[in-house]
A and B are shown apart, each in its own frame.
Chain A
Amino acid sequence: NAGVMQNPRHLVRRRGQEARLRCSPMKGHSHVYWYRQLPEEGLKFMVYLQKENIIDESGMPKERFSAEFPKEGPSILRIQQVVRGDSAAYFCASSPGWVEPKKAYEQYFGPGTRLTVT
């Protein structure tokens, strides 16, 4: 099964620690998106990446958050010095981009990483 994979599924961090969330896109997909689902707020776009490039990070908090999608390996969402307000479900999605024009805008989501900050 070549679905979007995220790990870990659950992550517990103490305030001040770093959280690293990983996402492997579907096979053949070169575009990755990160979304955050906060309680009572719904799903919000954070960042859109292609291999080695950040295309749109307009939804990323200005501080402590960063994302990368290296040439080799998974995409990483990194949260430094976590605070309780970072507790949320973080979803990664991928799409094929213009390799498959008819499906370019279809984003397929992973199972999410539930981050709990204690």
Chain B
Amino acid sequence: AQKVTQAQTEISVVEKEDVTLDCVYETRDTTYYLFWYKQPPSGELVFLIRRNSFDEQNEISGRYSWNFQKSTSSFNFTITASQVVDSAVYFCALTPISGAGSYQLTFGKGTKLSVIP
């Protein structure tokens, strides 16, 4: 079974501050994918990134960056110079690449980020 923990329920930052959203996961699978999704107030889920377990290279996309550390089972997400439009609930998710439960995304409970102007 998989488990994803997002310990931060809510975070508030002032615009232009950097913010890191934490994600810790548990799995017995040796190969798996990790994801981040954004759910803005309008309610849809927006895919942000997929990372596989055998690639620990960090990734940067504009103001977004992701830090994957297999040794600590963490996949943290940092927003640099936050903007009001970043206000949303952010979900971390996991799926094994093969075997039982593959393709099922297991989600954390989400972190609600509020960026204050």
Contact = CB atoms under 8 A, between A and B. Distances in A.
Interface stretch (B13-21, B54-62, B68-76, B103-111): B103-111
B45 A109 contact: yes
A59 B105 CA distance: 11
B67 to A, nearest CB: 20
B55 to A, nearest CB: 12
A43 B107 contact: yes
Interface in B13-41: 33, 35, 37
B44 A105 contact: no
- Size category of the binding interface on chain A: 20 to 34
A107 B105 contact: yes
A56 B100 CA distance: 9
Contacts of B105: 33, 35, 43, 45, 93, 107
A101 to B, nearest CB: 12
Contacts, number: 58
Contacts of A112: 43-45
B104 A105 contact: no
B77 interface: no
Interface residues of B, number: 23
Given A48-B104, A56-B104, A59-B104, A109 B37 contact: yes
A91 B105 CA distance: 12
A25 to B, nearest CB: 14
26 contacts: A33-B105, A41-B109, A42-B107, A42-B108, A42-B109, A42-B110, A43-B93, A43-B107, A45-B106, A56-B103, A56-B104, A58-B104, A89-B43, A105-B33, A105-B95, A105-B103, A106-B47, A106-B50, A107-B35, A109-B37, A109-B44, A109-B46, A110-B44, A111-B42, A112-B44, A112-B45
